[in-house]
Amino acid sequence: MTFVFHVATDGSDTADGSAERPLRTINRAAALARAGDTVVVHAGEYRERVVPRHGGLSPTRRITYEAAAGEHVVIKGSERVTSWEPDGGTVWRAAVPNTLFGDFNPYAEEVAGDWIVYRDGAPPKHLGEVYLNGVSFYEVASRAEVNDPPRRTEAFDNWTGTTVPIRDPDRTRLVWYAEVGTDTTTIWANFQGADPNVEPVEINVRRSVFYPEAHHLDYITVRGFELAHAATPWAPPTADQPGLIGPNWAKGWIIEDNVIHDAKCSAISIGKEGSTGHNYSTERGDKPGYQYQLESVFTALQHGWDRETIGSHVIRRNTVFDCGQNAVVGHLGCVFSTIEDNHIYDIAVKREFYGYEIAGIKLHAAIDVTIRGNYVHDCSLGVWLDWQTQGSRISRNVLHSNSRDLFVEVSHGPYLVEHNVFGSAAAVELYSQGGAFAHNLVLGTVRLEPVLDRATPYHRPHSTQVAGYAVVMGGDDRWIGNVFAAVDPSAAYGPNAEGVGPPTFGTSGYDGHPASFDEYLERLAAQPPGDHRRFAAVAQPVYVSGNVYLPGAAAFAGEHGATVLPSGTLSIVAEDGGCFLLSELPEEFDKARLAPVGGRDLARVRLVDADFEEPDGTPAVLDVDLAGARREAGQPAAAGPLAGLGSGRARTRLR
C-alpha cells in the first residue's frame, strides 16, 4: 500500500500528512515515506535541509518528492536576518548566535581542498554568503575593506590567462566580512544604501538543501522545486562531493524540472563519497592529488562501485545558475547517468576563487554517461570530462559565451561528440585520445595536447572494471562531417593557465599524424626493433573526412574529402529570449553533403580496443540532428549539427 503525504506551511508535524491535515516540514514527511510513496509539498518557503531517511526499491517503486501542481515551492539553506545595526555609512553589522548554525558554521569553513587555487597569496574565501533581494555579495578579507569597496569592471580568468569584463560592476561593491567568536558570528556588510531590516537579507546556514546522510538510498525523485542557498564545500574528485542537492552514494535518482541556484560551490552532485579519500593530498602533503585520485578508483571498486549499485541517475530539465564551482559535479558516482535538457549559466563567473574543478558540468569517470540537449552559456568553462571518459556521449548541446566550451582530459575513449554547437572563442580542448566528433559546429579554437606524466585507467566496455591504464599520446581521434569557422580570431587566447598553446581553428593541429591505421603500422614497422620505445616515437593515427572549413579554419593535411569554402560567416546570438545561429553561406556549402555517420563508420579505438557503441553494446546510431530531425540512411545531408542547413542567409533558432 502506498501513501501520499502532504506538506504545507500551515501544517503540523503532529498531523497525519493527509491533504486535510498536512505536515509542516518536508523532513517529517521524509521520515515517514517508504518505497512507492509520494511527498507533495504545497506553496511557500521552507528553510530546512531535507535529509531522506529511506529510499525506493526499484525504478517503479520510488519515493517521489514533488511540488504541488501549479504551486511555487522554495526550499532554502539560508535564514533571514533582521537584526542589523548601522555601523557607519552604508555598512551594517549583525551578531548572529552560533546556535543558528549547529555544528556547521559556514563562516568558519574555508573553500579549501585539493586543487583549489588562490591567486597571488589571496586569503581563502569561506562557505558563508550574504544575499540582498536574492543577490549574493562578495567576501572581502578585512573589516576595513567593507567600508569603501572599489567598483570592479573586470576580473582575471585563470582559464584564458586574460582579464574578462564583469557583467554587473555595481554588484562588486556589495561586500561582506565575518568574524566567528565563541558564541556569535559577527557579519559586516555594505548594502550600498539599502536597509537590510526592511529589504530581505539572508545568510547561508546549511551545507545542503536536499541531501541524504546515509549511502544507498536509491530510487528517489525530486521534482518541481526551487532550491537555493547552500554552503556547499569545494568538491574535487579526491574528496567527498556534497552538493546543494544530490543522492550521496546511491543509484537511480531523478532530479528534474527544478530551478537550482546559489550553491557556494556545487549545485547538483552525483559524485564521490568520503570513504574513498577526502582531500588527502592537501591534508597529508605526501603525494600528489593525481596519485590519490588513482587510488580512489581502486578503493571504490573494493566498495562495490558497479552498475548494479551506483549511478544511473537522471538529471533533466533543470535550470541551474549562480553557483561558484559547478552546476553538476561527479566522480565515480556519475557512471551510467543521463544529464539532459538542462539550462546552465553563470557558473563561476564571480571568480572569487579558482581551482581545477570548475565547469558547468564537471565529471570524472564519466563511464556510459549521456550529456544531451543541454544549453550551457556564460560559464567559466562549459563541459569538462576528466579521467576515464569512456562510452560517454555528448549530443545535441548548445554551448556559447564560455571561457571554454568542451574540455576532455586524460581519457582514452571511446567517447562520442555529435550534433553539438560549440560557439565560444575557445571551443574544444583535448588532452585525451580516442574520441569521435561528428556533425558538430565548431566556431572557436581546437587545442590538442598529449599528457605524458599522468597514466589514467581505462575500462572494460560498459563496465567499471579497470582493464588497464596508460598515458595520453594524443590522436586516435575521428572528425567526420563537422563545420569549422574562425568567428573571431582575435578573441582566441594564447597559452592557457598551464602554458599550453597556441590552439588552431579546424583540424590542422593534427598535421603530422598518420591518416590511417595502415599508415600508422607502416611507421611502426620502420622503427628500430623493441617494445614500448618504438610506440612512443610514432604519433597515433587520426581519421578525418568530410569536414567543412570556413575562411580562417584549416583542414588536417591528410583529410579525405574536405570542403574549404571561399566565403561565409556563422555566429551565435542570444536575443529575443532565445539562442540563434546566424548563417551566410556560399553555394559550395550545399555540395558538402554526407550520409549519416554511425558506429560502424568509426575506426576502433586502438589502446582500449573498443568500438563506438550504444550502452547495450550495439553500434552507435547518430541519426538525429540538433533540431530533432532524422538523418535518413543513404540520404546525404548537410555537414554540421543541422541536417537542413543550406546556402544563403538564415536565422535558425537553436534554443
pLDDT of the residue at 490:
61
Confidence of residue 492 (pLDDT cuts 50, 70, 90): low
Confidence of residue 542 (pLDDT cuts 50, 70, 90): very high
User: Which grid cell is 392?
Assistant: 560517454
Say yes or no to pLDDT of 455 above 80: yes
Which of 291, 292, 310, 312 has the alpha carbon at shortest distance from 301? 310
Say yes or no to pLDDT of 493 above 90: no
Residues present in the chain in total:
655
Distance of CA 655 to the CA centre of its chain: 19
CA 443 to CA 275: how far, in whole Å? 42
pTM beyond 0.95, yes or no: yes
Q: Is the peptide bond before 450 cis (omega within 30 degrees of 0)?
A: no
In a domain, 327, yes or no: no
Q: How many CA atoms lie within 13 A of 68 on its CB side?
A: 17
Rounded alpha-carbon distances, angstroms, from residue 192 to 92, 165, 171, 544: 10, 22, 10, 57
Give the torsion sign (CA, 472, 474, 478, 484): positive
Q: What is the mean pLDDT of residues 102-111?
A: 97
In a domain, 53, yes or no: yes
Q: How many CA atoms lie within 13 A of 447 on its CB side?
A: 27
User: Which grid cell is 141?
Assistant: 578579507
pLDDT of the residue at 162:
77
Q: What is the mean pLDDT of residues 446-461?
A: 96
Q: Considering its fold, how many domains does the chain have in total?
A: 1
Which of 42, 37, 4 has the alpha carbon at shortest distance from 25? 42
In a domain, 204, yes or no: no
Q: What is the mean pLDDT of residues 77-101?
A: 97
CA 562 to CA 152: how far, in whole Å? 46
pLDDT of the residue at 491:
56
**CB 62, CB 219: distance < 8 Å:** yes
Say yes or no to pLDDT of 358 above 70: yes
Rg (CA), the chain: 25
Share of the chain above pLDDT 90, in %: 92
Q: What is the mean pLDDT of residues 502-528?
A: 94
In a domain, 161, yes or no: no
pLDDT of the residue at 167:
86
User: Which grid cell is 348?
Assistant: 563561476
Say yes or no to pLDDT of 421 above 80: yes
**CB 351, CB 157: distance < 8 Å:** yes
Rounded alpha-carbon distances, angstroms, from residue 337 to 318, 322, 365, 615, 629: 15, 24, 11, 11, 24
- Cβ neighbours around 106 below 10 Å, total: 26
Confidence of residue 499 (pLDDT cuts 50, 70, 90): very low
Q: What is the mean pLDDT of residues 560-568?
A: 97
Per residue in 611-636, pLDDT (tens digit) is: 999 999 999 999 999 999 999 988 99
Backbone φ and ψ for 32, nearest 5 degrees, come out as -95, -30
Say yes or no to pLDDT of 602 above 90: yes
Residues 139-166 as b or e (16 or more Cβ within 10 Å = b)? bbeeeebbbebeeeeeeebbbbeeeeeb
Q: What is the mean pLDDT of residues 193-212?
A: 98
- Cβ neighbours around 557 below 10 Å, total: 14
Q: Residue 490 burial by CB count (10 A; 0-12/13-18/19+): exposed, middle or buried?
A: exposed
Task: Please calculate the CA angle 157-162-168 and round it to the nearest 5 degrees.
Answer: 55
In a domain, 344, yes or no: no
Element (H, E) at 373: none
pLDDT of the residue at 417:
98
Q: What is the mean pLDDT of residues 158-178?
A: 87
In a domain, 51, yes or no: yes
CA 231 to CA 103: how far, in whole Å? 13
**CB 383, CB 397: distance < 8 Å:** yes
CA 407 to CA 424: how far, in whole Å? 12
The residue written with cell numbers 541531501 in the block is: 211
Say yes or no to pLDDT of 575 above 50: yes
Range of the domain at 10: 4-76
**CB 432, CB 410: distance < 8 Å:** yes
Q: What is the mean pLDDT of residues 374-398?
A: 97
Which of 224, 230, 209, 249 has the alpha carbon at shortest distance from 55? 249
- Higher confidence at residue 270 or residue 499? 270
pLDDT of the residue at 158:
72
Confidence of residue 163 (pLDDT cuts 50, 70, 90): confident
**CB 318, CB 260: distance < 8 Å:** yes
CA 222 to CA 198: how far, in whole Å? 33
pLDDT of the residue at 497:
45
User: Which grid cell is 604?
Assistant: 576502433
Q: What is the mean pLDDT of the chain?
A: 95
Which of 207, 87, 192, 55 has the alpha carbon at shortest distance from 137? 192
Say yes or no to pLDDT of 62 above 60: yes
Which of 477, 386, 476, 487 has the alpha carbon at shortest distance from 427? 487
pLDDT of the residue at 501:
53
In a domain, 633, yes or no: no
In a domain, 266, yes or no: no
pLDDT of the residue at 6:
98
Tell me, what DSSP letter sits at residue 475?
-
Share of the chain above pLDDT 70, in %: 98
